[in-house]
C-alpha cells in the first residue's frame, strides 16, 4: 500500500471528508472546481493541516491527529506540480532545478544530476533562461525536472494542463506520460477534464462537494459511474430522474418511456444516464419514436437535439452524437439504446 488517506477538513461552510488509497500507479481524482480535490493534495503535501484523520505514505506516518503527528512538508518527500508551475523568479531554469537538489551535499554530484535532468527533459538549450521567458511547455518541464531530481516518494499533479490551449495540452499529455514511465512511485493527479483523466490514469476517483465517491479502474468508472455526480463528470450528457419498475426495468417520467437495463435495478435508484454516443437508429432494444430538433455539425461528428414522442414539454432536449459517416439521409424516426448502455445512478 503506497498512500493511505483518511481525513476531515472544514473550511467555512465547506467540509472535506475523504478516504482512499493509491498504489504505485497513476491515479486520478476527477472533480469540478471547488470540489476539494486541490485541498486534498495540499493536505497530503502538508501545506494545509486536516482537522482529523491519518495520512500514511509507504509506511511512514505523515499525519495522525490522534498521535499528534504532523510532519512539515519538507520531511514528507511528496512532489507537488502546481498548475502555475511556481518556478522561482529571478533564477534560471538550471538554478530552479538545482533547488530540488539541495539535500545533496556534494556540489559536483548536484551539478551532474541537474545536467542529466536537463538532458532527459530536453531543456538543456534553455538552461540559462529565466522563467518569465519560457513557454508553457518549457515551464512545465522545468517544474517537473525540479521535482523529479528531488526523488519524491509520491508525485502529485494539480490540474497540470488546464492553463494550456487544447493543442499544446494533448502534446504535453503524451510527453508527460512518456516521461513518467521511468518514475517508480505513485502518481496522484487532480483534474476536471474527463478526457485527460481517461488518457492518463489507470484508476480514477470522483470527488463531489468534498466527498470521494466511487474509486475504480478508469474504464470501469466510465462504463458504470454509479452516481449522478460521477456521470456528469465523466461526460454523460443525458441524465433524467427514474424509478424502478421491475428487476431489469425502469420508468423515466421526464421522457415518458420505460427502459430495459442489463444490470438488475437496486432500490434507491435516483436517475438514469445515457451517453450521447449510445443512441443508434438501428438498435431494436429500447427503441422509441423521436423528433429530431436542432442539429450542429462538428469537424468529425454531428450533434442532434431530439425529444421523445411523449416527452414532458418542460424537460430539456436529449443529445445524440454520431460520426459523420453514420449520418442517415433523412432524420431517423426512432432511436434505440442497448440495455448495457443505460447507466443506473444512485
Partner 1 sequence: MIDLFPLWNSLRIAAVSSVIVFFTGIFAAYKAARMPRLLKGILDVILTLPLVLPPTVCGWVLLRLFGNRRPVGQLLTQIGIRLVMNWPGGVAAAVVVAFPLMYRTARGAFESFDENLAWAGQTLGLSNTWIFWRIRMRACRQGILAGTVLAFARALGEYGATSMLIGYTPGRTATVSTTVYQLWRTNDESGALFWVAVNLAISAVVLLAVNLLEKRNRRQEWHLK
Picking from 35, 37, 42, the residue whose alpha carbon sits closest to that of residue 14 is 35
Picking from 9, 38, 4, 169, the residue whose alpha carbon sits closest to that of residue 30 is 38
Q: Is residue 338 within the footprint of partner 1 (CB under 8 A)?
A: no
Grid coordinates in use for 245?
419498475
Q: Is residue 147 within the footprint of partner 1 (CB under 8 A)?
A: yes
Grid coordinates in use for 250?
425502469
Minimal distance, residue 98 CB to partner 1, in Å: 11
Q: Which of 72, 268, 299, 313 binds partner 1 (CB under 8 A)?
A: 72
* Count of Cβ atoms closer than 10 Å to residue 140 Cβ: 26
Give the angle 150-155-159 at the CA atoms, nearest 5°.
Answer: 125
Q: Is residue 71 within the footprint of partner 1 (CB under 8 A)?
A: no
**Between 80 and 308, CB nearer to partner 1:** 80
3-state helix, strand, coil in the chain (%, to 5): 30, 35, 40
Minimal distance, residue 175 CB to partner 1, in Å: 21
Q: Which range in 139-147, 254-262, 273-281, 308-316 contacts partner 1 by CB under 8 A?
A: 139-147
Contact code string over 10-49 relative to partner 1, x by CB under 8 A: --------------------------------x--xxx--
> Are 229 and 210 contacting, i.e. CB atoms less than 8 angstroms apart?
no
Grid coordinates in use for 80?
507537488
**Cα-based distances in Å from 116 to 98, 113, 266, 303:** 11, 5, 56, 49
Q: Cell 490514469, residue? A: 201
DSSP letters, 249-276, are EEEETTTTEEEE-SSPPPTT--EEEE-G
Q: Which of 20, 64, 82, 137 binds partner 1 (CB under 8 A)?
A: 82
Pairing of strands 78-81, 154-158: parallel
Grid coordinates in use for 246?
421491475
Q: Is residue 163 within the footprint of partner 1 (CB under 8 A)?
A: no
Cα torsion through 141, 146, 150, 152, rounded to 10? -50
Go through the chain and tell me how many residues it has: 346
Number of residues that bind partner 1 (CB under 8 A): 29
Q: Which range in 59-67, 147-155, 207-215, 240-248 contacts partner 1 by CB under 8 A?
A: 147-155
Window 97-136: residues binding partner 1 (CB under 8 A): 99-100, 102-103, 132
**Between 82 and 251, CB nearer to partner 1:** 82
Minimal distance, residue 133 CB to partner 1, in Å: 9
**Between 114 and 274, CB nearer to partner 1:** 114
**Between 74 and 181, CB nearer to partner 1:** 74
Q: Which range in 88-96, 228-236, 249-257, 291-299 contacts partner 1 by CB under 8 A?
A: 88-96
Residues that bind partner 1 in the complex, under the rule CB under 8 A:
42, 45-47, 72-80, 82, 84, 86, 88-90, 99-100, 102-103, 132, 143, 146-147, 150, 152
Amino acid at each position: 500500500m503506497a498512500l493511505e488517506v483518511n481525513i476531515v477538513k472544514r473550511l467555512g461552510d465547506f467540509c472535506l471528508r475523504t478516504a482512499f488509497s493509491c498504489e504505485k500507479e497513476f491515479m486520478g481524482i476527477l472533480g469540478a472546481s471547488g470540489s476539494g480535490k486541490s485541498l486534498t493534495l495540499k493536505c497530503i503535501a502538508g501545506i494545509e493541516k486536516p482537522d482529523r484523520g491519518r495520512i500514511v505514505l509507504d509506511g511512514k506516518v505523515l499525519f495522525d491527529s490522534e498521535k499528534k503527528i504532523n510532519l512539515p512538508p519538507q520531511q514528507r518527500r511528496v512532489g507537488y506540480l502546481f498548475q502555475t508551475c511556481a518556478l522561482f523568479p529571478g533564477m534560471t531554469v538550471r538554478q530552479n532545478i538545482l533547488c530540488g537538489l539541495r539535500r545533496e551535499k556534494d556540489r559536483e554530484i548536484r551539478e551532474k544530476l541537474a545536467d542529466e535532468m536537463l538532458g532527459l527533459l530536453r531543456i538543456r538549450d534553455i538552461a540559462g533562461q529565466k522563467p518569465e521567458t519560457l513557454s508553457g511547455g518549457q515551464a512545465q518541464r522545468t517544474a517537473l525536472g525540479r521535482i523529479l531530481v528531488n526523488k519524491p516518494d509520491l508525485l502529485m499533479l494539480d490540474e497540470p494542463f488546464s492553463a494550456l490551449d487544447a493543442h499544446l495540452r494533448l502534446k504535453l499529455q503524451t510527453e508527460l506520460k512518456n516521461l513518467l514511465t521511468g518514475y517508480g512511485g505513485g502518481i496522484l493527479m487532480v483534474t476536471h477534464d474527463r478526457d485527460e483523466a481517461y488518457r492518463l490514469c489507470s484508476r480514477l476517483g470522483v470527488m463531489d462537494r468534498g466527498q470521494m465517491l466511487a474509486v475504480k479502474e478508469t474504464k470501469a468508472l466510465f462504463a458504470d459511474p454509479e452516481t449522478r455526480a460521477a456521470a456528469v463528470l465523466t461526460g454523460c450528457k443525458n441524465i433524467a430522474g427514474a424509478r424502478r419498475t421491475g428487476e431489469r426495468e425502469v420508468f423515466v417520467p421526464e421522457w415518458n418511456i420505460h427502459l430495459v437495463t442489463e444490470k438488475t435495478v437496486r432500490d434507491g435508484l435516483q436517475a438514469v444516464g445515457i451517453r450521447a454516443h449510445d443512441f443508434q437508429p438501428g438498435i431494436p432494444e429500447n427503441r422509441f419514436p423521436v423528433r429530431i430538433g436542432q442539429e450542429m455539425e462538428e469537424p468529425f461528428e454531428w450533434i442532434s437535439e431530439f425529444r421523445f414522442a411523449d416527452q414532458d414539454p418542460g424537460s430539456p432536449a436529449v443529445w445524440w452524437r454520431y460520426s459523420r459517416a453514420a449520418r442517415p439521409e433523412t432524420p431517423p424516426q426512432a432511436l434505440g439504446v442497448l440495455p448495457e448502455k443505460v447507466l443506473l445512478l444512485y
